Amino acid sequence: MPIPGTKVTVEGHAIVSVDGMIAAADGSMPAALHSDADWRLFQAALDRAAIVVLGRLGHARHPNPGRRRLVLTRSVADLASDPGDPLATLWNPGGIAIADLLARLGILEGTVAVTGGTGTFDLFVPHYDRFILSEVRSLTLPDGIPCFSKGHPRLVLPGAGLEARDMEVIDRGVVQTQWVRPSATAA
């Protein structure tokens, strides 16, 4: 579903274990869940985005290399500037809808890149035009933190109307699939 009043493209990015986890049970990201090739593609995609959407913990954990960020948190009523980062806006989706927020920020076109974790990935399920999913084939993370709370991305993404395209081995044991909403590629 497009974000009303905008022409933005919503693009998700995740690297997951075979069982669809973005992190281990304790919230850490094991080294085996990292791929240099995935990281390069991921960073290049974020550089092209108009804004990057991520959870408050990820924002705190990963220093901002100079991108506009939208940071999910329930610590604000609707939206607020981040006193520690002039490029970041703190956002509570319970207080202001994404369409109104993007209008307030003047982001009406370009790519909104959604980088997780779970609460952030879940929120955009109705809106993804594309989801770039990298899967580490030899890794399982029992009781890990899931990409989507409703199930494996290979079930959630088609359930949201996206189709798998352009599956590619990008690194040893790492397969990347571009999930695309057909309407986003029509015409």
Q: Secondary structure of 100-130 in the HEC alphabet?
A: HHHHHHCCCCCEEEECCCHHHHHHCCCCCCE
Identity of the residue, 126 or 182, whose beta carbon is nearer to ligand NAP in the bound complex: 126
Q: Where are the alpha helices (DSSP H) in the chain?
A: 36-48, 56-61, 98-105, 118-123, 153-159, 182-185
72 binds ligand NAP (CB under 6 A): yes
Residue 110: strand pairing partners: none
What sign does the CA torsion over 162, 1, 19, 179 have?
A: positive
Residue type, 183: S
* Smallest distance, ligand NAP to C-beta of residue 81, A: 15
Contact status: 69 vs ligand NAP (CB under 6 A): no
Residue in 12, 116, 146, 153 binding ligand NAP, rule: CB under 6 A: 116
Q: Which is nearer to ligand NAP, 22 or 49 (CB)?
A: 22
Smallest distance from ligand NAP to CB 187, Å: 31
Q: Is 170 in the site for ligand NAP (CB under 6 A)?
A: no
The answer to the question of residue 141 lying near ligand NAP (CB under 6 A) is no
Burial profile 77-104: b = 16 or more Cβ within 10 angstroms, e = fewer: eebbebeeeeebbbbbbeeeebeebbee
Our finding on whether 153 is near ligand NAP (CB under 6 A) is no
Nearest approach, Cβ of 186 to ligand NAP (angstroms)?
Answer: 28
How is residue 132 written in tokens?
Answer: 């770039």
Binding site for ligand NAP (CB under 6 A): 14-15, 22-23, 27-29, 33, 54-58, 72-75, 92-93, 115-120, 123, 145
